[in-house]
Amino acid sequence: MVTYFRRMDDDRVFKALADPTRRFLLDLLFAREGRTLGELESAVEMTRYGVMKHLRVLEDAGLVITRRSGREKFHFLNPVPIRQVHDRWIDKYTERHVAALVDLKNELETER
């Protein structure tokens, strides 16, 4: 059961990261956290509703956390799910022996 939930979480993160607009929103939050919907909306050529839909996908994936202060809602980057995807799917492919094979391939291609 735990594996199933972990896979679902990974699927949500991959889905969220698959869209260039959502990646751009994450870049904005990486540069300066605690942005409002209005700030994020002004940075993209999209309706307020469109930005809200993208933020909802990011929140569902756990990549964005929100906090209310009065009438405003602030959005913060949560890098933990990205790190978990990295550790699960990327890091294992960058092990030493794989890196050595890639280095060898690159060296042989430059000798041509």
pLDDT in tens, the chain (112 residues): 444 445 668 899 999 999 999 999 999 999 998 999 999 999 999 999 999 999 999 999 999 999 999 999 999 999 999 998 888 887 777 777 777 888 888 888 887 6
**Which pair of structure tokens corresponds to residue 62?**
């756990």
Q: How far apart are the first and last CA of the chain?
A: 51
Rg (CA), the chain: 18
Amino acid at 11: D
Of 37, 23, 25, 32, nearest in space to 66 by CA: 37
β-strands 64-69, 35-36 pairing: unpaired
Q: Tell me which architecture the domain covering 2-111 has in CATH.
A: Orthogonal Bundle (1.10)
| 3-class secondary structure, 37 | helix
